[in-house]
Amino acid sequence: MKKMLLATTAAALVASSAMADGHAKEIKLGVLYGFTGPIESLTGPMAAGAELAMKEVSDSGMLLDGATVTSSRGDSGCIDNGMAVASAERLIAEGVKGIVGADCSGVTGAVLQNVAIPNGMVMISPSATSPGLTTMEDNGLFFRTSPSDAREGEVMAEVLQERGIESIALTYTNNDYGKGLADAIQSSFEAVGGEVTIVAAHEDGKADYSAEMGALASAGGDLLVVAGYLDQGGAGIIKAALDSGAWDTFGLPGGMIGDNLPKTIGPDLNGSYGQIAGSEGKGIETLIEMAGDDFDASSPYTPEAYDAAALIMMAMQKAGSMEPGDYKDHILDVANAPGTEIYPGELGKALELIKNGEDVDYVGASAVELIGPGEAAGTYRLIEVKDGENATIGFK
Amino acid sequence: MDFLNAIVAFANFVFIPGVAYGSQLALGALGVTLVYGILRFSNFAHGDTMAMGAMSAVLLTWLFQSWGISFGPLPTALLTLPFAIGFTILLLLGTDRAVYKFYRTKKAKPVILVIVSLGITFIYNGLTRFIIGADDQNFLDGERFIIRARDFKEMTGLREGLAFKTTQGITIVTAVIVVILLFWFLNKTRSGKSMRAYSDNEDLALLSGINPERVVMITWMIVAGLATIAGVLYGLDKSFKPFTYFQLLLPIFASAIVGGLGNPIGAIAGGFVIAFSEVTITYAWKKVLVYLMPDNLEPSGLVQLLSTDYKFAVSFVILLIVLLVKPTGLFKGQAV
C-alpha cells in the first residue's frame, strides 16, 4: 500500500512537472485597468500599450525559450474597490503570472492588499500615483512605473512659482488619489512661499458644483488648481468656474490631462496649464512610431503601461522562471543601470542579452528609473492648452 | 462701491444659482406632492420620470437639429417640450394602466404602492440607460449667457463679475409660468376643483359624482408635464446624466416634506428653502464680508459654516428638524 502511494505520488509529480513544461510555452499576464469609470477615456491606449509589449516579446520568441505572452483584461472601475478586487481574483483564477495594473491609486491599494499579497502576485502599476502606496507593506510585490504624487506636488509648485503665481485655491476629488495629491501640492507650494487660500473636496458624478464654486471663489487666489478627473467632477468644477466667471485659467495635475478635457470645455480652457508624468526623447518617439495608427501612444500613462509589461517579462527572463515569487527580486535589476540601455522595440534584443548573462538597463518609453521601494523617479511633461489641444511645452 | 461689489458677489455665487436650483426643485416637488395628495403614495419613480422626460427631449432636440430647426438664441429643447411632455404622458398613463391600477382597485396600502413605485424607478432607470446610455449628454444650444461675468465687469467697472446664464433665466421664467398655470387650473377649473375635492375626502368626492379614474388620469398628465419640464430645465442648466436624476430624488422629497406633503404652495416654498440652505450654509462669506466690513474688522478666515462636503447633510438636517418640530411641514400638509 505504502509503496503504491509513493509510486502514484511520484507519477503525479512527474506528470505535473511535465505539464508545467508544456504550459511554459504560454504565459498569461493580467491587464487590470478601469475600462469603465472616471478615466475610461485613458485606459484604452494604456491597455493597447501593455499588449504591444507582450506581442513584441511573443514575436521575438526569446522569452524562456520561445514562450508566447497573452493578455487577459480585467476592469478595475478605477474607483470601485469591490469590482477591482473581483476582477483581480478572476485574473488569478485564470492563472496569470503577473498583473499590469491597477490604474487608480485607491483600487491599486485594495487589489494589492486583498489579492496580490495573499496570492504572491507581482503588480506593476503604470498610473497609481498616491504617496500612500510608497509606504504600504507589499512583500516586494508592488512596483510602479509612474512617480509618486509627492513628486508631482514639487513639480507643480515649481511651475507655479516660475509663472509668478502667489496664491492658489485647491480643490480635489474626494478619494485617495485626490487627497494625496492635494496634500502634496499644498505642502510643496507653501514650502516655496506660496499661499493656498482654500482646500476643498468635490464629489465626482454630481451635476451641480455651484456651492463648491461659491466657497472656492470666495476664498480667491490667482489660479484654481483642480486635482480631479477629467471625465468626472474635475470637468464639472471647471465648467462652474467659467460659468460664474470666478477663474479663467486653471492648474491641471495629471488626472486632468487628456484630450477629452479641451473637447468638453471648449476654447475657454486655452491658457490653462499643468503637468503629467511623461518623458521626452528616443523612447517615447519610438513607441509612437511602433503604435502607428493602432492607438495613441502619447496618451497619458500609455508609455508607462508598455514599460510595466516589459519589465515583468524581462524580469522573468532574468530569473529564468515565470513564477512571481522567483522574478519579483529581479525587476529592479533589469530596470536600473548598469547594463546596455534598452528602448521600446528592443525587447527581443534585451531578452537575448539577459539570456547570455549580460546586464540590461531598461530605459523604455518613459525613461524608467526605479527608486526606493520600486517606483519611478519621475520625469514630468509640462502641458499648456493651446487652441483646444494639450501642447507639450517642456519637461521637468 | 464696496457695498455694490458685495451685492454682486452675493448675487453671482448665492442668489442666482440658488433661485435657479430652487425653481428646479420646486417643479420636481410639485409633482411629488400632487401624487401624494391625490393618489396617496410617495412616488419614488419621480426622479426617473424626469430623466425619461428629459431623455425624450434630448432625442427630439437632436432630431430637430438634424432637420435644421432651431429656436434662435433659445435652446431648441424648449421647442421639443410639448412633444416630450406628450411622450411622458403616454408613459405615465401606460404605467398606471399596467401597474398602479391593479393595486388601486385592490385598495392596496400606501406602503405597497411606494415599493411598487420603487420597482418602476428601476425599470425607468434601466430603460433610460438602455436607450441613451449612462454618459453625460449636452443638448444645450443657442446663446449660453444673458450676461457674461467679464462683460458685466467692463460695463459697470465693478471688481466683481455677475454671470447670468440663459438657462437660469429660462428656468426661473418657466417655473413662474408653470406655477401660475397650475394654481389657476387647481383653483378655477372644474377638473381642478374635482381633484382637490378628491384629495380632501375621497368618499365624499365619490358620492358627489366625481369620476375617480378621470381624476387619476388628469393627475398623471399634470405630473408628466411637471416632471418633463423640471427634468429638461435641470438638464439644460447642468447637464443630462441619468444618474443625477436618481440622486435628485432626495432633495426633491426633502423639499416636498419640508413644505408639507400634498400642499402645492409648500412644495414651492420647500424647494427654495432646501436650495438656499444648501448654498448659503456651505458658502464662504469671506468675499462678501471683506467688502462690507471696515478694514480693521475684515475676517481672516473663510467664514464658512460647513465645508461643501456636507452639502447633502444640510437638507437632511432641515428635514429632521421639520419632522421633529412640525411633522406636517411648514405649510400644513398631510402628516407623513
Residues from chain B contacting residue A241 (CB–CB below 8 Å): none
* Per-residue pLDDT tens digits for A104-144: 999 999 999 999 999 999 999 999 988 888 888 898 999 99
Does the pLDDT of residue A18 top 50, yes or no?
no
In which band, very low, low, confident or very high, does the pLDDT at A1 lie, cut at 50, 70 and 90?
low
pLDDT band at A91 (very low <50, low <70, confident <90, very high): very high
Residues A190-219 pLDDT 10s: 999 989 998 988 888 776 788 788 888 888
Quote the minimal CA–CA distance from A206 to chain B in Å.
6
pLDDT of residue A19: 47
Confidence grade of residue A347 (pLDDT, cut at 50, 70, 90): very high
Name every chain A residue with its beta carbon within 8 A of the beta carbon of B301. none
Inside any domain, residue A13: no
pLDDT at A14 over 60: no
Of A204, A195, A203, A200, which is closest to residue A214 (Cα–Cα)?
Answer: A200
- Residue A225 in domain: yes
The reply to whether A203 and A234 lie within a common domain is: yes
Q: What is the pLDDT of residue A2?
A: 57
Secondary structure element (H or E) that encloses residue A211, with its range: helix A210-219
pLDDT bracket for residue A348 (50, 70, 90): very high
- Interface mutation target, options A173, A243, A264, chain B, most CBs of B under 10 Å: A243
Q: Is residue A189 included in any domain, yes or no?
A: yes
Q: Has this prediction a pTM greater than 0.80?
A: no
CA distance B331 to chain A (A): 27
**Are A112 and A127 found together in one domain?**
yes
**Positions of E strands within chain B:** 145-147, 164-165
Upper half-sphere CA count for residue A278 (Cβ side, 13 Å): 25
CB contact under 8 A, B239 and A244: no
Rounded CA-CA distance B211/B192 in Å is: 13
Domain membership flag for residue A221: yes
Q: Which residues, in sequence order, are CB contacts of A162 under 8 Å at separation 6+?
A: none
- The top-scoring range by mean pLDDT among A2-16, A167-181, B136-150 is A167-181
pLDDT at A36 over 80: yes
Q: Which residue from A205, A206, A218 is facing B302, i.e. has the nearest CB? A: A218
Closest to A383 measured CA to CA, from A238, A249, A254:
A254
Q: How far apart are CA B14 and CA A1, in angstroms?
A: 87
Grid cell at residue B256: 416636498
- The answer to whether the beta carbons of residues A50 and A305 sit under 8 Å apart is yes
Q: Are residues A390 and A259 in the same domain?
A: yes
Query: Are A292 and A364 contained in the same domain?
Result: yes
**Alpha carbons A129 and A150: distance in angstroms, whole number:** 8
- Tell whether A383 and A256 lie within a shared domain: yes
Residue A233 structural domain: 150-278+379-395
**pLDDT at residue B294, rounded to an integer:** 77
Q: Is B241 in Cβ contact with A207 (below 8 Å)?
A: yes
What is the tens place of the pLDDT at every residue in B52-83? Answer: 999 999 999 999 999 988 888 888 889 999 99
**Are the CB atoms for A312 and A124 separated by under 8 Å?**
yes
User: Residue A322: inside a domain, yes or no?
Assistant: yes
Handedness of CA B130, B131, B133, B136 (dihedral sign): negative
In this predicted structure, the answer to whether residue B31 has a pLDDT above a threshold of 90 is: yes
Q: Which of B12, B287, B308 is closest, CB to CB, to A211? A: B308
Tell me the chain A residues in contact with residue B311 when contact means C-beta distances shorter than 8 Å: 211
Q: A6 lies in a domain?
A: no
Asked whether residue A162 falls in the same domain as residue A185, the answer is yes
Which pLDDT belongs to residue A7? 56
Q: Are residues A244 and A255 in the same domain?
A: yes
Mean pLDDT of A211-235: 86
Whether residue A171 is predicted with pLDDT greater than 90 in this model: the reply is yes
Please provide the average confidence, as pLDDT, over all residues in chain A.
Answer: 87
Q: In a 10 Å sphere around its CB, with 0-12 CB exposed, 13-18 middle and 19+ buried, how is residue A261 labelled?
A: buried
Same domain, A305 and A364: yes
Highest mean pLDDT among A34-48, A98-112, A228-242: A98-112
Q: What was the pLDDT predicted at A20?
A: 47
Q: Residue A217 is nearest to which of B13, B241, B243, comparing CB atoms?
A: B13
pLDDT at A17: 47
Q: Is residue A15 part of a domain?
A: no
pLDDT in tens, B292-318: 877 777 777 777 777 777 777 888 888
Instruction: Tell me if A212 and B308 make a contact (CB, 8 A cut-off).
Output: yes
Q: Would the CB atoms of B307 and A217 count as touching at under 8 Å?
A: no
Same domain, A318 and A230: no
Q: How confident is the model at residue B334 (pLDDT cuts 50, 70, 90)?
A: low
Q: Using an 8 Å CB-CB cutoff, list residues of chain A that contact chain B.
A: 174, 198, 200-203, 205-208, 210-220, 243-246
- Candidates A63, A148, A94, A95; CA nearest to A353 is A63
The answer to whether ipTM exceeds 0.85 is no
Domain count of the fold of chain A = 2
Confidence band for B94, pLDDT divided at 50, 70 and 90: very high
The residue type at B278: E
Tell me if A4 is assigned to some domain. no
Residues A172 and A122 in one domain: no
Phi/psi region, residue A384 (left: phi>0; alpha: psi -120 to 50; beta: rest), is: beta
Q: Hey, what domains does chain B have and what are their CATH numbers?
A: 2-325 (1.10.3470)
Note the pLDDT of residue A208: 74
Taking 90 as the threshold, does the pLDDT of residue A89 lie above it?
yes
| Residues A30 and A117 occupy one common structural domain | yes
- CATH value at residue A191: 3.40.50.2300
A348, A383: one domain: no
